Amino acid sequence: MRNLFTITVFYLTFLLQSTLHAEVKLPKLVGDNMILQRDARVTIFGSALRVERVTVTFQFRVYYALPNERGEWFISLPPMPAGGPYEMEIFGKNTIQLKNIMVGEVWLASGQSNMEWKLADQVNNHKAEIAAANYPDIRFVDVKNTIAAHPHRDYSPGGWQLCSPKTAGQFSAVAYFFARELHQLYKVPIGIVQAEWGGTPAEAWVSTATLKQFPEFKEAADKLDHIGGDLEEKQTAYNASLSAWQKTMAARDRGYAAKKPWYEPRIQDEDTWHTMRLPGLWENAGLPGYDGAMWFRKEVEVPKTEAGMPLHLHLGKIDDEDIAWFNGTEVGRTSGWDTPRHYIVPGKLVKAGRNMIVVRINDTGGGGGLHGNPADLRLESQFFKATLAGEWHCRTAVDISTMPKPPAELRDQNSPGVLYNGMIAAVVPYTIRGVIWYQGESNASRAYQYRNLFPALIRDWRTAWGQKEPFPFLFVQLANFKAPQPQPGESEWAELREAQTFALNEPKTAMAVAIDIGDANDIHPRNKLDVGKRLALAARGVAYEDTLLKTYSGPMFRSMTVEGNKVRILFDHTADGLLARKGVPKGFAIAGEDRKFVWAHARIEGNSVVVWSAAVPKPTAVRYGWADNPECNLYNTEGLPASPFRTDQWPGVTVAAVK
């Protein structure tokens, strides 16, 4: 009996202690190794029982808070200079001790895949950069990709990471180079909060309150507000239903059921397969109306020099889902009809001579297959490149018309408002210096809409933070991409770049121009170093008002005047003047009232460029760099490229996309 009493007391004591220790909780942002914003009032926040007073001790001062009706508590710390390391204790009925806290600069890094692109993802000189990334006072915290119907106050799983060769490879490459530049210059700790998701449009990152101001988003925003329960839970349930359906589909797939699965390098019935030219949708290749699974196989020759070396497999965009194998081993899978596929092939799979690439594509409706530009299909390394465009062997595997219907699709990460709720709202209470943003590719087809949507996003975030002064918002203009155009023409990407410049009308904004460091064949250019440096220059100019700078921006169009048969273009941000790299200025086009643009001659005169063409005796408009991937070479003396621009306001190709 005594042993039973002892066990019972011990068990009750354990439960009581567990309950007490669970009552005061901290979000992932508030933890060991965190960096607090210097010279600003800093908010520390968490959750607790409503009846529980919370006490925070920091730097020999004591602060108190009472949780609100939702169990949230907030404490404001006074402005502090850069420094550390410090410790913090938080008391409720339990005690939490935080260590290795630094005070410095905190920036939020957000956007889509070019901000998400990791340092280890084959950026230029990545091995050497990672090996040298020993900066314990640069720290990153990554907000997990999360969708939500209502604003979240936390995320999962992890907290702050110190920058070292062991951790740096997983950091956003752009954000790392940005942070390193500022850290080395100002000698203060730099904290980066990463909240990005590849392939996502801007409207997913905007609150429903702001989205309701846009007629085209109001219905979606209203529906999101009225979703009962938690969208993430619904997404989990949907994923489970979809997974079960996919398993049923896979069980009926002839490619898996074959005596030798079709993903193997050698199969028994390969001579019975058909051929199809890729990229292309199979509806346009003799299979109209087919929805289901299709397998594709292609053999590629790899030179001896690449044997045992990792390769990059680019498959363009696939509608809707894919699994890719290399020599019989899976190397990646992705869902999303408009998401570019990029997989790393481990060196152990790569052999000299013939290698087999197999892709299983599952299309659930509409067009199906591997689509995009031929240049998007390739296998490459730093010293090797093989095109994958052309003939592939293919074979149908299972027609979904013979199966039960798949579960009804749930709204995803591209839906308006879901990423603001799931990711940005979780960061909002944390005091930041500002934002760096790299996004726009997913909105290029709606560039005219982006003219208003992007500035609205900036104002939306600033309102959410509610800081006394609007924080700096720095963004990257879209880099050059896709095949060059031989003649002047229209361009969605050019219109998106123009739309980005509209955001410069907002206070404390700056734009890093990247028109010279893109890649015609890859939407993810590997030169992230210069992007990070140019964002750091923008921060020096806008956030820190660095008097040592002559300018923080490339030349920006100011005005034009017609002088007879010529046009004079004036620029801001010229530093000590303009210059053309590798010859005379290129990339200028000129038109008259007929709106027909032709390539123009151009010469630099001080802080202006004079443009003309014998084919246009009465010019009315000039464009510069107006293409997806323009040839343009105008810079200022600080080595920063001029932003593409146009002087006309004639309707573009994306104006019809605005509803």
Task: Please give the pLDDT value at position 409.
Answer: 60
Q: Which phi and psi (to 5°) does residue 402 adopt? A: -90, 5
Is it the case that residue 583 has pLDDT exceeding 60? yes
Q: Could you tell me the two tokens for 218?
A: 């109001």
Task: Please give the pLDDT value at position 276.
Answer: 93
Residue 20's pLDDT band (boundaries 50, 70, 90)?
very low
Between 288 and 586, the higher pLDDT residue: 586
pLDDT in tens, 632-658: 999 999 999 999 999 999 999 999 876
Task: Please give the pLDDT value at position 411.
Answer: 56
Please state which CATH class domain 262-402 belongs to. Answer: mainly beta
Pairing outcome for strands 598-599 and 588-591: antiparallel
Positive/negative CA dihedral, 289, 291, 293, 297: positive
Superfamily of domain 104-252+415-549, CATH level 4: SGNH hydrolase (3.40.50.1110)
Cα–Cα distance, 388 to 374 (Å, whole number): 8
Task: Please give the pLDDT value at position 335.
Answer: 79
Between 283 and 51, the higher pLDDT residue: 283
Q: Could you tell me the two tokens for 629?
A: 């991937």
Task: Kindly state the DSSP code that residue 613 receives in the 8-state scheme.
Answer: -
Q: What is the mean pLDDT of residues 124-150?
A: 94
Residue 1's pLDDT band (boundaries 50, 70, 90)?
very low
Is it the case that residue 338 has pLDDT exceeding 80? no
Is it the case that residue 2 has pLDDT exceeding 80? no
Q: What is the mean pLDDT of residues 107-131?
A: 93
Is it the case that residue 370 has pLDDT exceeding 50? yes
DSSP secondary structure string, 377-425? EEEE-SS-EEE--EEEEEEEEEEGGGSPPPPPPPP-TTSTTHHIIIIIT
Vertex 131 angle, CA 127 and 135, to 5°: 135
Task: Please give the pLDDT value at position 7.
Answer: 36
Cα–Cα distance, 652 to 447 (Å, whole number): 9
Q: What is the 3-state secondary structure (H, E, C) of 441-454?
A: HHHHHHHHHHHHHH
Task: Please give the pLDDT value at position 357.
Answer: 97
Residue extents of the structural domains in the chain: 104-252+415-549, 262-402, 556-657
Is it the case that residue 323 has pLDDT exceeding 70? yes
Q: What percent of the chain has pLDDT over 90?
A: 72
Residue 230's pLDDT band (boundaries 50, 70, 90)?
low
How much is the pTM? 0.78
Residue 46's pLDDT band (boundaries 50, 70, 90)?
very high
Q: What is the 3-state secondary structure (H, E, C) of 426-477?
A: CCCCCCCCEEEEECCHHHHHHHHHHHHHHHHHHHHHHHHHCCCCCCCEEEEC
